[in-house]
Structures are given as C-alpha cells and as structure tokens.
Chains A and B, each alone.
Chain A
C-alpha cells in the first residue's frame, strides 16, 4: 500500500508539474495568438491607410523624375529636354580576347578607332567607356555580336528640339549633363537638383522672325554678324534674343576637332547681345535728349547752333547728315546731329550725364539670368570731351541688351525694369523711376518723328506707329577708329502711342551695297530688320494696327519741329 501510495504521490507530483508547465505554455501560446488576433483586427478593420500607403509606395516607382528638368518657352514649347539613350561600356576583366572584341566592335561602330578600343579593353580594371549615347539600332547591333563584357548603361542625353534657334539664351550642357552656358548654366541647380521646369520669357515665334530677318540682312550686307533683342517695356521680359552667327548645341563636341573649328565655335558661341560691348553711336542720342529734357537744360523748343563742326582738344565733331544751320531739339534728334547733341551734353554737364546713365542701368551688370555678361566700358576720367562724344554714342561701350533696356525705360513712362529671361506672370513691382512721365512722352514723340521724317524711315511698319533711332558707329582700333568698319544699329519701339515692345537690331561691319547707295548705316541696314520684325511679329503679339491718319495716332508724333527763327543770326544759306 505504502508503495502504491508513494508511487501515487510521486506520480501526482509529476502530473502537477506537467500541468503547471502545460498551463504556462498554453498561456504563452494564447497570449501570442491574442496579439496576432488583435493585430489582425487592427490591420483589417481599423487601419484604413495601410493598404493605400503600400499602393502609393508602389506608384512612386512609376513617377520617376528625370535627371534634368525641361526648359520651355513662354507658350510651353519645348526648348530643352532629356532623352534616355544607351551608353556602351566595356568590362576588360570579362573580355576574353580584346583583339577579337575590338575588331568586332569597330565593325559595328565604324566611328571608333580600333587601336583605341583595343587599348581600352586591354587595360586593367572593370569599367571603360567605349561610346556614349548610341542609337537603339547600334545597341541592337552590339548585342547581336554576343560578346560578353560589353554592357550598356542608360543615360539621359540633353536634346534641344529647336536646334540653334535660341541657343544663346538656352545654352547647352556638357557630357555629364551639367549646364555650361546660358540658362542651362545659370539654372543648373534648379534643373538638375530640384527638377523644376524652367519657363523662359522667350517666344519662339518672335525669336524665329527676328533671327530670320537678321540673318537675311547680314547675308545681304555681308556683315560679320549681328545681334537682336525684343523686350517687353512693361515687364523687362526678353521675348527674343538673337546673336549671329550661332551654332547647333548638339554639335559642340565636334568643335574640338581642329584649331580652325575651335576658333569658329568661339566666335559662334560669343553672345553679342549680352557679352559684346559696342559703341552704339547715335542711339545714345536717345539718352542724351532724355537727360537734357529731364534736367531742364533744354526743352522741345530750344535751339542749338549746328552751323560749324566743333573743334575741341584736337577733335572735330561734325555731322553725318549735315544741315549747317540752327537746329531745334527735335531737329537735332531727327537729323541725328552730332554737333547739336554735343552742345546739349555740354549744357547737361559731366556729373548729370554720368548720374543719369548710371540710373538707366547702363553702367552696371544687367539683371538677366545669364553668366555671359559684360559691363559697360566708359571713360575714366570722364571729361567734358567725353561728355560730348558720349552724347552721340562714342567713348562709351555697352551691350545691345543694356541699351534696349534703357530705351524701354525712356519710353514706357520713365520706369526701369530689371531685364529677365524668365516669364513673369504678373507685372513686376520692382521698377525704378528714372525719368518723369512727361519727358518719356516727349521722347516717344521724338522717336516717332525719326521714323516718320528722319533717318529711320526704313523702320516704318504701316499701322504700328514705329518709333526709333538709328545708330552708326565706327569700330575702334588701337589708337583710332576704322572708317569703313561700322557697327550699325537701330533701336525701335512700337506702337509709339502706347509702347509695348522694344526691338533692337545691330549689324557688325555691314558693307554698303548698290541698293543702299553704298551706305551701310543703321538706317539702311538695321532699320529694315526692325520694320520686318514688327510687321510680322505684332499680329502674333496681339497688337492691332491703327490708322496712322487718325487723330489719336497723329498725337503720338505731334511735335513742333519748325525751323527756329534764330536769334537774329539768321539761318544759314541752304
């Protein structure tokens, strides 16, 4: 019995232990199942954003950003974009027989040199670029060779669908897709790191018109080159920026092939509109007259003696279109009299001239978003003689863009807006008043007068009330000026009763032709470009023509030009 009891008790003890262990195990399992159950309920019933979050995570993979964002024009037309292309590289450690591989590859890609490929494939290492950016067809051909060790890497290549049309504004990128010039350079971070699309203020339709007309005129007058710019006078936006000769941004690599090509490319790449500084000649009379009217040293009825050339400090200032008589202020402008302008500048004085030219933004860097920029070259010291020559645009050199922006300020009511290549969606608030509204109104009339009756008649575009000023400057050389090498320009604006756009055209060393009676001046070479551009671009820009004989339009140029009854001295006999 005792044995049985003891057995029983021992068995009971063991059973108790087993039961406790089972209970603990069961409790643990129950707890685990409870956790799983709670989580299951939570996931299936309460957690609403769970599945969608996962789906979104999957779709993000689809929304893969491009390496570099697009550049578009003001109407959304694609100017620069990235296209995926395959690039071929070799892995020399896998290549079995470099000689055979090199020969086979050159058979497919004949533009590669066999020796070069062989040298690359025989090198140590695991990666050598063989050819960047190959076509899908070439990729297929290489694959068909079936040689292990040739691999492809997908790369993005920058493409400019409009080619050379606006190349100086857009710029270009290098092999590694890094901006090297133009907007590509100045907006490199935004384009590549933030992937923000850049919308330019350029309008490709207007750009094409300006480029085509300028190119035609350069060809006609056998000029070395030319530049042109169209500015919105109320916003400072650049609608068109042309510099000729230009280049195709896709072929810049070929420029390094020979010294001659390199030199040519350097010339083509040079942005004459923002980087070139030129003495603009009589175009500066716009500023001279504006300063004289603004400071009050002259008014529209003032007279100046333009009978004899001025001799000063060994220089002689004479007139190209000599009238040899007393001239009123409007006449000085209309006939582009250097003598009259120089005398006005003497009345203005050095300090006031300098102050106003600075106010007009001519002396500092332009705000345009390009790194290809040049500041004005001006005389130091600024003497009275300099003041006289600056009055008619010699002795000071500025970029065409600077001049156009300053003219915009002179005619738009007197407010200078920073120039920009980026589209503005609202009117800028950061304009700076440089001259009074009254002076601006007088200047508009003077500019219209030049086109109606003066040196700028070739710039007329019927219905658009063009106003403007011609400029012809001799090119400076070491120690003087070349008489036959001219910079001929015209800055125009339209419509003069309420100006909207400034159009500037400039030709570098045009040669006189029969049709222009041998002249190569701004009025003969650059003014017709402006005329053509305005008559073709104005309808696109939504500017309706007006009847020039209507009183409202007449008022745009209503001016008293009358020959002065000069103070007793009488008028020169002509």
Chain B
C-alpha cells in the first residue's frame, strides 16, 4: 500500500521538476527574445530618426529648387493660373429664345463677372456649369476675363459633341466639365496620346 503512493508522489515530483525546468527555459528564451526585440526596436528607432533627419536634409528647399530647375519644367504658380467655378461664363436658357431670355449672350459675361466678384457667389441652380460650357461657343467673342487654359481646352473638346448630338445627357457633359476643371493632368495625358 505504501509503495505505490511513494512511487506516485515521486513521479509527480519528477514531473513537476520537469515542468518547472521547461517553464524556466521558456521564460529565459522569451526574455532573450524580448531583449532582442527591444534592441531591434531601439536600433530601428535610431535608424528612423537618422532617416528623418536625412529626409529633411535632402528636402532642403534650396536643393529642391536647383533640382527642379535642372530636371523639371515646372515654374512657381502664378496668379493668372487660378480660376474658380464662378469664373465660368453662364449659359443662356436651354431653349434660346432671345426675346424672353433673361441671360442673353451679350449680358452673360457681365453677369459672370459680377458673380465672380462676389465671394462664394456660385452660378445659380438653373444654369449648371456643364450646360453653360456646352453653350460656350456663343459667348466666345466676349470672354469676361482671361479664361484658365484648361477651361478653354474643355470647351474645345466638348463643343463638337454638343453640336452633333443635342440630346447628349447633362451627366456626360458635367463629367467632362469636371474632368476639365479638376483633372488637369488627365486632360494633359489625353492631349499627349493624341
């Protein structure tokens, strides 16, 4: 009766000892790994720090100035390169009946200029920009101000569509106009591929 109990206890003790060693080794391994990781983090942080300094150094405005002058054809922005939506000329009514049209081709530029002058004055809802654009050829002789280059491009591209298919949906025209206004790069690319 006594012997099996002793054996079991002895067995348990050996098992506990083995477990203890196992855990101890695992802890020691994990600690080594933690130290290693900490070291690595410190090293990476230092490296990031150095790289940040280097990034800032390489981005010296003076250096970039020189590089852009040598390799790029970019120049500082000028005031006349800016335009806003309000600067686009307004469209006469959809069905032009000159006698009743409140916004005739002659008065449109003046109104556009007024709208432009008031900050935040956007074209009214009845005359969306896109449709105003499709009517652009009519307004051609009296542009209210020097139009931005991309706007002129847009009108040239859109006008044939507008004349050939009068039923062209407003949405397509709006898309085109928005692309012309905001997607400056996109229109350039198209131009290049042509």
A interface residue numbers (CB < 8 A to B): 58-59, 61-62, 64, 66, 77-79, 81, 83-84, 159, 161-163, 165, 204-205, 207-208, 212, 461-464, 535-536, 538-539, 544-545, 547, 550-553
A165 to B46, CA, bound (A): 25
What residues of chain B lie closer than 8 Å to A536, measured between beta carbons?
A: 76-77
3 A-B pairs closest in CB distance: A463-B79, A208-B61, A545-B79
In the complex, identify which listed stretch (B5-13, B47-55, B173-181) lies at the interface while the others stay far away.
B47-55
> For B119, what are the chain A residues with a Cβ–Cβ distance below 8 Å?
552
A547 touches B38 (CB 8 A): no
Q: Which residues of B contact A205 (CB under 8 A)?
A: 61
**Could you say which of A77, A84, A207, A461 contacts B59, with CB atoms under 8 Å apart?**
A77
A-B contact pairs, 28 of them (CB 8 A): A58-B34, A61-B38, A62-B41, A62-B45, A66-B49, A77-B56, A78-B52, A78-B53, A78-B55, A78-B56, A81-B49, A81-B56, A83-B49, A84-B46, A161-B56, A161-B57, A162-B57, A205-B61, A207-B61, A462-B79, A463-B82, A464-B79, A535-B79, A539-B79, A547-B116, A550-B117, A551-B117, A552-B117
Cα of A81 to Cα of B84 in the assembled complex, Å: 41
CB-based nearest A residue for B50: A83
Q: Which A residues lie within 8 Å of B114 (CB)? A: 551
Partner of B38, one of A62, A83, A538: A62
Q: Which residue of A lies closest to B84 (CB)?
A: A544
Q: A550 to B109: give the CA distance in the assembly, Å.
A: 13
Residues of B within 8 A of A62 (CB): 38, 41-42, 45
Across chains A and B, the number of contacting residue pairs, with CB separation under 8 Å, is: 85
A159 to B117, CA, bound (A): 49
* Residues of chain B lying within 8 A (CB to CB) of residue A66: 49
Known: A58-B34, A464-B79, A551-B117. A83 touches B62 (CB 8 A): no
Question: Which listed residue (B45, B54, B60, B79) contacts A165, Cβ 8 A?
Answer: B60
Q: A59-B38, A83-B53, A84-B46 are in contact. Are A162 and B60 (CB under 8 A)?
A: yes
Across the interface, which residues of B come within 8 angstroms of A83, CB to CB? 49-50, 53
Expressed in whole angstroms, the Cα–Cα distance for A550 and B52 within the complex equals 47
User: Closest B-chain residue to A162, C-beta based?
Assistant: B60
Residue in B38, B57, B84 whose beta carbon sits within 8 Å of that of A58 in the complex: B38
Known: A165-B62, A212-B62, A552-B117. A545 touches B53 (CB 8 A): no
A-chain residues with CB within 8 Å of residue B46 when the two chains form the complex: 84
Chain A residues closer than 8 Å to B49, beta-carbon distance: 66, 81, 83
Interface size class of B (residues with CB under 8 A): 20 to 34
The interface residues of chain A lying within 8 Å CB-to-CB of B77 are 536, 539
- Is B80 on the interface with A (CB-CB < 8 A)? yes
- Find out whether the CB atom of A547 lies under 8 angstroms from the CB atom of B113: yes
Instruction: Give every chain B residue within 8 A of A544 (Cβ-Cβ).
Output: 82, 84
**How far is it, in angstroms, between the C-alpha of A552 and the C-alpha of B86 when the chains are bound?**
14
Which residue of A59, A165, A539, A552 contacts B61 across the interface (Cβ within 8 Å)? A165
Whether the pair B53, A553 counts as a contact (CB closer than 8 A) is no
**B78 CB-CB contact with A under 8 Å:** yes
Per the bound structure, the CA–CA distance linking A464 and B77 in Å amounts to 13
**Given A58-B34, A551-B117: A463 and B53 interface contact (C-beta under 8 Å):** no
B65 at the interface (CB under 8 A from A): yes
Q: Does B79 contact A538, Cβ atoms closer than 8 Å?
A: yes
For A162, the chain B residues whose CB sits under 8 A away are 56-57, 60-61
A544 to B86, CA, bound (A): 13
In the complex, the answer to whether B60 meets A161 with C-beta atoms within 8 Å is yes
* Contact between B52 and A81, CB atoms less than 8 A apart: yes
| Interface of chain B residues 59 through 112 with chain A (CB within 8 A) | 59-62, 65, 76-80, 82, 84
Contacts of B138 in A (CB 8 A): none
Answer yes or no: B145 CB below 8 A from chain A CBs. yes
* Residue B118 is within 8 A (CB to CB) of chain A in the complex: yes
A161 and B42 within 8 A (CB): no
**Cα distance A547–B115 when bound, in Å?**
12
CB-based contact A64/B62 at 8 Å:
no
Assembled-state Cα–Cα distance A464/B64 (Å): 26
Verify A161–B80 contact, CB threshold 8 A: no
| A547 with B61: CB separation less than 8 A | no
A550 neighbours in B (Cβ, 8 Å): 113, 116-117
B residues less than 8 Å from A58 (CB atoms):
34, 38
